[in-house]
Amino acid sequence: WDKLVAATEDIAYNRLDEAETKDLAVQGAFRGVYIDLLTRYPLLYVYWQKYAVLEYKLSGTDGSIRVLSQAVDAFPHSLDLWVEYLAALVENKAEETFIREMFRKAVQFNGRNFLSHPLWDKYIEFEHTRNPASDNPYLLEIYLQLVRIPLYQYAQYYQSFHEINKNFSISQLFGETELATLLAKHGKTAELTVEERSALIDDHFLGVFTTTQQSVSERWPFEAEIKTPFFSLEALSDTELTNWQQYLDFEIQSASPPAQVVALFERALVPAASYLKLWMKYIKWHIEHTSGETEKIRNVYLRACNVFVPLDDFPIRLNYAAFLEMSLDDNALSACHLLYQKLIKLSPQNDILVRYLHFITRNYPAQAYLFMSKAVAAFFQEEPELKKTKKDKLLPELLPWFDSFTAIVTLKISKTAVRKARTDVRKLFEKYYTHDTLKSSPQFWLYFFDFELKCKHVSNLSQIVFFAKNETMLPKIVIDDMLTEYRAFLLKHDPGNREIIFLNADSVNSLFVNKSLRAGSAFSPPSLGVLSDAKKEDELNLMVLKQNGHPGITIDQKPTVTNKLPWEEFASGVRELPTFRNVEKASLPIQYPV
């Protein structure tokens, strides 16, 4: 940017004659450089000044003042820009009422800045020039503010006020309540002598001065540590950042007027504009101390999210979304919706997806199925650069999402929308259910099982249960829960279904009884792979027999009786004792798997 601005200025000031600089296309190109830069970095006050100087060359004084007006709108907490803008208005004899209005606006934004004396000096000079009389009411308005604000030049302002305050009536210096309190404190009535009046004024404002002096002394150690009060793309030092944080803590804990706290936050957020913690601290303070003023809080969020805080700092944007949703306003909900869509586009993290999902289900239930389809499809987009390995990394982040999104489409939306939703959700299942990663996802399968359960679709339920038992790698406890719900559903809605007979066997833990358990790849030994034919199933049965109820411990030979007798021959008399084979191997050490 520095090189571009330098090249622009070189061309504008050194390489073009006056006629060429009047060309509208050339002027548009020059302005475009500064507009693009200052839209992205509005706190670069030096470049606003450069822009104003260039505009003066292009279109004269009016153009320059117009740029300065844009500058103070974009960066209202800049003392330098306000002083330059007000000086230009005064020098070019703008309308007096408008200038006074701009001074008041400048003071509103910057009057409590510890180093704001250039602004106050210019304000006093302006009013004194218009009316040099010692009883100028506009000067009184200024000084009554100044003597109460902790500023670098507080003593000078108190001395100037002390020289003129006797020229004003008691009613001008004090409000009715304040005056009544003072009179009662000193045991006086409203009828005061000149000496009593002077003593009352001096005594009161000496107390104000002492309080202000104490405030300045308390703030001076923090002010002395501020080395970079301006915005810079370079990071603040840890020392300076800590100083700002401690200064803010002091101001908040001192129970200072809200305007004083806001002024310090705004000062801090110029050099520390990209620091998330300070923005969050500012928002927290607003929520705790300006309850009900939602527009102020929203403006702080907007400045942080849209201009200053880096795009990859999601917490403040998620907080903003929650704040917008709590507003219960249609415009706020629309803004919240757009914010979530931008966040998902930037980074479809699981936490963002889940929050977005909850937002949609709470506020737009009739459209929930559509958003779900789009969000899931985003993880499987068939773009060339998105290879299968990347999909597999993204997919686990998506899975918990199904856990949060129950089949609300059948509960909260109209019948017409339900039919459309059912079609879309089933298409989603058909498209992705064979994906290897999803075969081990309880969230994915339970979501679609619950969906069909609520839809009461027996055929689809049967297919989901069959595939889950035989083709997935789901934990047995998940399949058992699914079978229990499925059995209860059939008993209630289709009691004549023959599947009920076999469901009991499917829940048994024995591999000999539970055929689907033998077929499930999750329970097959790696050496056998996925059991898909009778030969592999026979191998598994033989292996289970050798393990004798102790998985992983194989016994090749176990003792057996060699002279078994039929049961019917036991009653015919005494028979010989049984004989055994492989008895000696029963005491051999167990061969544990390596």
Phi-psi label, residue 548: left if phi above 0, alpha if psi -120 to 50, beta otherwise: left
DSSP-derived letter for residue 577 is P
Q: Is the pLDDT of residue 554 over 70?
A: no
Please list the residues that pair with 301 across neighbouring strands: none
- The pLDDT value given to residue 508: 52
Q: How far is 532 from 308, CA to CA, in rounded Å?
A: 59
Q: Please count the other Cβ atoms lying within 10 Å of the Cβ belonging to residue 87.
A: 14
Secondary structure of residue 456 in the 3-state scheme: coil
Q: Is residue 86 part of a domain?
A: yes
Q: Is residue 91 part of a domain?
A: yes
The number of residues in the chain equals 594
pLDDT in tens, 89-144: 999 988 999 999 999 999 999 999 999 999 999 999 999 998 888 788 899 999 99
DSSP string, 171-195: HHHS-HHHHHHHHHHHT--S---HH
> Nearest to residue 190, comparing CAs of 177, 174, 179?
179
Task: Please report, to the nearest 10 degrees, the dihedral formed by the alpha carbons of residues 104, 106, 111, 113 taken in order.
Answer: 180
Q: Is residue 582 part of a domain?
A: yes
Please list the residues that pair with 322 across neighbouring strands: none
Q: How far is 496 from 68, CA to CA, in rounded Å?
A: 83
* Chain center to CA of 294: 17
Q: Which residue has better confidence, 265 or 560?
A: 265
β strands within 541-591, DSSP E: 560-561, 580-581
Which of 183, 198, 224 is where one domain is finished?
224
Q: How far is 253 from 261, CA to CA, in rounded Å?
A: 10
Q: Is the pLDDT of residue 376 over 70?
A: no
| Paired tokens of 143 | 């000084």
Q: How far is 39 from 416, CA to CA, in rounded Å?
A: 47
Q: Is residue 487 part of a domain?
A: no
Q: Give 546's pLDDT tier (boundaries 50, 70, 90).
A: low
Q: How far is 409 from 365, CA to CA, in rounded Å?
A: 7
What single letter denotes the amino acid at residue 206?
A: L
Q: Is residue 141 part of a domain?
A: yes
* Domain assignment of residue 118, given as a range: 1-224
Q: Is the pLDDT of residue 560 over 90?
A: no
On whether the pTM is more than 0.85, the answer is: no
CB contact set of 438 (below 8 Å; sequence gap of 6+) = 395, 399, 432, 444, 445
Mean of the per-residue pLDDT values of the chain = 78
Q: Is the pLDDT of residue 287 over 60?
A: yes
| Paired tokens of 165 | 């305050």
Q: Which residue has better confidence, 69 or 519?
A: 69
- The pLDDT value given to residue 108: 95
Q: Is residue 362 part of a domain?
A: no
Helix (H) or strand (E) holding 379: none
pLDDT in tens, 308-362: 888 878 888 888 888 888 876 778 888 888 888 788 777 756 677 777 777 877 7
Please list the residues that pair with 561 across neighbouring strands: 580
Q: Is residue 38 part of a domain?
A: yes
Q: Is the pLDDT of residue 159 over 90?
A: yes
| Paired tokens of 403 | 């856990």
Q: Is the pLDDT of residue 86 over 90?
A: yes
What single letter denotes the amino acid at residue 460?
A: N
Cβ pair 170, 192 in contact under 8 A: yes
- The pLDDT value given to residue 413: 36
Residue 354: is it exposed, middle or buried by C-beta count within 10 angstroms (0-12/13-18/19+)?
Answer: middle
Residue 185: is it exposed, middle or buried by C-beta count within 10 angstroms (0-12/13-18/19+)?
Answer: exposed
Q: Which residue has better confidence, 154 or 14?
A: 154
Place of tokens 């998902």: 344
- The pLDDT value given to residue 530: 47
> Nearest to residue 498, comparing CAs of 446, 458, 453?
458
**Looking at residue 110, which CATH number applies to its domain?**
1.25.40.10
Q: How far is 513 from 535, CA to CA, in rounded Å?
A: 17
Cβ pair 359, 340 in contact under 8 A: yes
Which of 169, 202, 224 is where one domain is finished?
224
Number of domains in the chain: 2
Q: How far is 568 from 571, CA to CA, in rounded Å?
A: 7
Highest mean pLDDT among 42-46, 72-76, 337-341, 404-408: 72-76
Please list the residues that pair with 581 across neighbouring strands: 560
- The pLDDT value given to residue 522: 40
Task: Please report, to the nearest 10 degrees, the dihedral formed by the alpha carbons of residues 303, 304, 309, 314 taken in order.
Answer: -130
Cβ pair 530, 473 in contact under 8 A: no
| Paired tokens of 107 | 């003071």
Which of 204, 224, 244 is where one domain is finished?
224
* Least-confidence region, from 198-202, 279-283, 327-331: 327-331
> Nearest to residue 308, comparing CAs of 11, 75, 535, 58?
75
Q: Give 394's pLDDT tier (boundaries 50, 70, 90).
A: very low
CA distances from 492 to 71, 371, 503 (A): 72, 33, 15
Q: Is residue 81 part of a domain?
A: yes
Q: Is the pLDDT of residue 188 over 50?
A: yes
User: Using DSSP, how many helices (H) and how many strands (E) does the chain show?
Assistant: 29, 2
Q: Which residue has better confidence, 199 or 396?
A: 199
Q: Give 421's pLDDT tier (boundaries 50, 70, 90).
A: low
- The phi, psi pair for 338, rounded to 5°, reads -65, -40
Measured between its terminal Cα atoms, the distance across the chain in Å is 65
**CA 520-525-526 angle, 5° bins:** 105
- The pLDDT value given to residue 593: 59
Percentage of residues of the chain with pLDDT beyond 90: 25
